[in-house]
Structure 1
Amino acid sequence: MQRLGTLLALGGGWSPPEPNEAAFVPSAEDVLRITAIHDPPYLIITRQSDGSYEYSGYLHDLWEIIARELDLRYRTVPLLDGGYGSVDQNGTWSGLVGELAYGRADLALTWVHFRQDRASVVDYIDAVPVDQDQYTFYLAKGTAAAPQLSPAMFSSLLQPLHWHVWWTVAASLLVISAALRLAYRHDPCPRRRA
């Protein structure tokens, strides 16, 4: 554990710098360049009437807390026509990954799935999970479309596998339980049995 301001870092941290590489320690004059795309509910970019941008959303709120606690100064630049980033046929990167890879940004404020090609040009900070997905189906209350519980519904759970597979699974469990019982009964070092 390491204390950073009033934050407590748990688990693995960022990769240590190479022996011949100086570690970046931001000073009060440094301003981090942050790039972001409109990606609700994580990050919402709203253009104001004066041409400026307003940021909100889950990741923005989290970043605000981190920046305040670590006393970081930053400037957010929206990437309005880019996505997460991919490599083109000619080997150049686009989107948020391209902004990071070519040094136009220090940090991308987004969630993005780990991909090996992206990891070759950017560092992922993944010590803390940010999101958890849960997929749910909803129906209107009292609708006739709601399935009724029945034996046929429960038997449908067995349908993805052929009946030969289910018999093989049952037989395997029976053989394993018999082997364990036999091994326990003929244990050369009998334990105290209650």
Structure 2
Amino acid sequence: MRIVDHEQRRQEIAEVAMDLIAHEGLEATTLNRIARQMGASIRVITHYFADKDTLLLAVYRILALQGQAPIAEVLARDPADLAGALNVLCGSDEATLKRWRVYVAFWDKAARSPRFAAEQRLWIEKTLALIGEVIVARTGSAGEIRPLAMELISLVYGMSVQRTLDPESWAPEAIAAVIDRKVREVDLLRPS
């Protein structure tokens, strides 16, 4: 009898779903399509995920964790590297651009589903808190950080969405230049 690593199998299913969402959209990503793509039966999928929404929530969580990992790597090297943290959030390389395609697909779902909206809010809050911590580490100021973190995240989201929809609209160098300018503005908040 073959031993199956259930967590690895869940991850594989979610990765296939993520690829389908990134390339064909949320509606085209059905349990049957995922099963066919994996060369498996639909029962394999439903053994791990009761329905499409349960699978999609798992995909979103995995996606969010994948998005947080590069930030953690940057901050492990330098907890005050605000430019580095913001740059890895942007869709400036192919892997991050793929994540952004999936994020954008989920936004419509979140606009219509309280369950998905709550999940999205949770991860946005985690990202805002993290960026807030980086701002404090960088400036030494613990003043009103949340509005600044929201502004920076909005900037990142805007450039990333534009790049997702039109990859030629924002070159990675242009994204980095805008982020560097914003970080210089943040540096002005350092107490003298």
- The verdict on a shared fold, with TM-score over 0.5 as the criterion, is no
Compute the TM-score of the two structures, normalised by the length of structure 1: 0.21
Which structure is higher in strand share? 1
Greater radius of gyration (CA): 1
Compute the TM-score of the two structures, normalised by the length of structure 2: 0.21
- Higher RCO, 1 or 2 (CA under 8 Å, sep at least 6)? 2
Which structure is higher in helix share? 2
